[in-house]
Structure 1
Amino acid sequence: MTPKTSPAWTLSGQNGIESLQLVQDNPIPEIGDHQVLVKIHAASLNSRDIVIARGEPALPHFRPGVIPGSDGAGIVEAVGANVSEFRSGDRVCTHLTSSLPANKPASMNDICESGLGHNYNGTLTSYAIFHESSLVSMPANLDFLQASTLTCSGLTAWNALFGVDSLKPKKGDWVLVQGTGGVSIAALQFALAVGATIIATTSSTTKAERLKSLGAYHVLNYREDSEWGETAKSLTPNQEGVNIVVDVGGLSTLSQSVKAIRANGLIALAGLLGGAPENTSIPTLMDCLANTYIVRGFLLGTRDQFREMNRFIEEKDIKPIFDDRVFDSTQAKEAYRFLQEQRHFSKVCIRF
């Protein structure tokens, strides 16, 4: 029997974490013709969720009372009359956008207007209704917590590395990842799976050891070495530089990414986690001409890319990494704080 209500977190406003409210009997709407009812088993958080809760200018105009969260995994409970791809019992992951063609890259407007947890109800609930275009089948080798990390971080990392056929990493290539957030750890795992050599950065000795245990060949402390981009380049064969940089810091890291990249290498702009450092010039488009590297900006990835990534995860039996501390469904505020205080390693997950 289809439930009529569900425990759910909602955003009553945009005054930060305290805007999160747990509603025990949030109504579940009737399932539309192209909608799917999913019992959520796990969700994970992103910096985006904090930005929305704070009402920051990057993601304005949220819908009051929306269920937050874009990342999740669960089991299909029921489907609408015109849904053909899914049926009851299927294990699924969420895709952040709704009603986009499977091969259409998302724009910032798409993410604002049709993003889960922003204007469309998201994943911080026991039962959720999604448009069928907001779902893909889960990798068969993963559990729900692992699969819940894929929606944003996993897919962004995949697009960063494999989004351009001619620039995909291969055995013998060198890849630089920054920090220990979800995108960087997923990129490390994907690049290792094709035989690339990984250089990683962090400011934590403890996290450096964890990075090495996951397969990073070199780990650079960016607080101790302000010129870590040059150091990274010096570690590569013939000091030519790395083939790919997955840049998640934006203004705070781009100048060092440029110093690390080789001629005709790729800098994948995958995030905006930091502000511009003092007394540091920010590379411009003309630097690409002078230094012959490629910079690619993108947002997330398409559903087609999601399916491609999931096949790769199954083939290579990759197990996504998330933080050792997993929160339960009543601890969303604690999970948000844990993420906001940057105490996490890779992804912060919530079990339902």
Structure 2
Amino acid sequence: MNAYQITGTSGLTSLHAVHLPDPKPGPGEVLIKIRATCLNYRDYMNVMGIKGVTGPVPRIPCSDGAGEVAEVGEGVSDFQPGDRVVCPFMPSWLDGEYSQHHASQALGGAVDGLLRELAVIAAASLLPVPSHLSLEEAATLPCAAVTAWDALHCRGRLKAGESVLILGTGGVSIFALQFAKLAGARVLATTSCDLKAKRLLELGADAVHNYKTDPDWDKWAVKQTGGLGVDKVIEIGGAETLNRSLKATRFGGHIALIGVLTGTSAEVQTVQILRKGIRLDGIYVGSREMFAEMLAEMSRVKMQPVIDSVFEFSQATAAFQRIASGRHFGKIVIRV
């Protein structure tokens, strides 16, 4: 099979097309023809060799993918060749609590990912692709969409009428906007671009702030809520944005810490967490059970992901360059 591997820690030049033996499914496993994969910033960090993120090399990148069943192993009865399926981010995390074991099975980092033509996954992990979604759309879901769902509905316990602040226009933020509006929440959004601001409003954001023209987006968010602060924050920046998120959050509010786009460590104003009684949750995607609940809701309303661009398999490096540019709005897909 054809695949891509990260072969070193020298950035995009370490990503190489390779030819590997075709895998075969064992008992309880399914062989999948991967038809589409999708990039997350984590995948870019892995390829770039960022300390504390990149796993062992050589490694096939990309956690997200969808495809068609090619062959089933002994004892598999839930799927048959031709079925359209999507692979969870951590195939071992079926339900229950998150654990170190599940983290050790995360695709594209701890173990080989899905930027390849064929993959073997345990049948118990897979989910059928809803009929209203293409395989390219389904491939956008395992990391960003499930993360947003976990942050808002599982850990966040979002209620209609609450306010949600999203940062930027990456995959998690856009999915959070879509899910929050479906739940009847008021969504405040930040961006660095007026054109992206217009698109956020078209997707349903109630108010948008350009942090390039006015970096005090925390003060803006507090003002938008009558001086109280927002109920929920989808915090994807990390090091350089967390303190502003703490200031923007109301007493007793919730911050879902998801991304590290601005770095992996920083000085945090912990007194804000204490004084305001803020609940701060680290969100590392979610379980298959959460994924199934999310797919059921998406099917109910025929919700479709926002795709920024689709690249061919031979253009994988260009897809990574697109995510590095920061110009994308929504998800970047690679068609296999």
TM over 0.5: yes
Say which of 319, 324, 338 aligns to 2:304: 319
The size of the alignment, in residue pairs, is 336
User: What RMSD over aligned residues (CA atoms) do the two structures have, in Å?
Assistant: 2.0
- Give the aligned residue type for 2:185: A
- Give the aligned residue type for 2:15: L
Match of 1:3 in 2: none
SS in 1 for 2:20: strand
Say which of 148, 164, 173 aligns to 1:184: 173
Match of 2:232 in 1: 244
Match of 2:2 in 1: 7
Cα 1:10–1:86, aligned 2, differ >3 Å: closer, same or farther? same
How far apart, CA to CA, are the structure 1 residues paired with 2:239 and 2:73? 45
How far apart, CA to CA, are the structure 1 residues paired with 2:76 and 2:85? 14
How far apart, CA to CA, are the structure 2 residues paired with 1:144 and 1:46? 17
Match of 1:21 in 2: 16
How far apart, CA to CA, are the structure 2 residues paired with 1:276 and 1:156? 18
1:76-127 deviation line (CA, Å, top 9, x unaligned): 11111133443322211111223344334254x643x322123433211222
Q: Deviation of residue 208 (structure 1)? A: 0.9
| 1:282 correspondence with 2:268 | yes
- Give the aligned residue type for 1:246: I
Q: Deviation of residue 134 (structure 1)? A: 4.4
Alignment of 1:191-230 (within 5 A): 191-230=180-219
Report the identity percentage.
39
- Return the TM-score normalized by structure 2: 0.93
Alignment of 1:1-352 (within 5 A): 6-23=1-18, 25-64=19-58, 66-107=59-100, 110-111=102-103, 113-164=104-155, 167-236=156-225, 238-275=226-263, 282-284=268-270, 286-323=271-308, 325-352=309-336
- Return the TM-score normalized by structure 1: 0.89
1:265-307 deviation line (CA, Å, top 9, x unaligned): 1111111111399xx96221x4323112221112110111111
SS in 2 for 1:36: strand
For structure 1, the 5+ residue unaligned runs are 1-5
Kept in 2: contact 1:38–1:128 (CA 8 A)? yes
1:139-165 deviation line (CA, Å, top 9, x unaligned): 33211111111111011111110113x
- Single out whichever of 191-200 and 125-134 deviates more from structure 2: 125-134
- Single out whichever of 337-346 and 195-204 deviates more from structure 2: 337-346
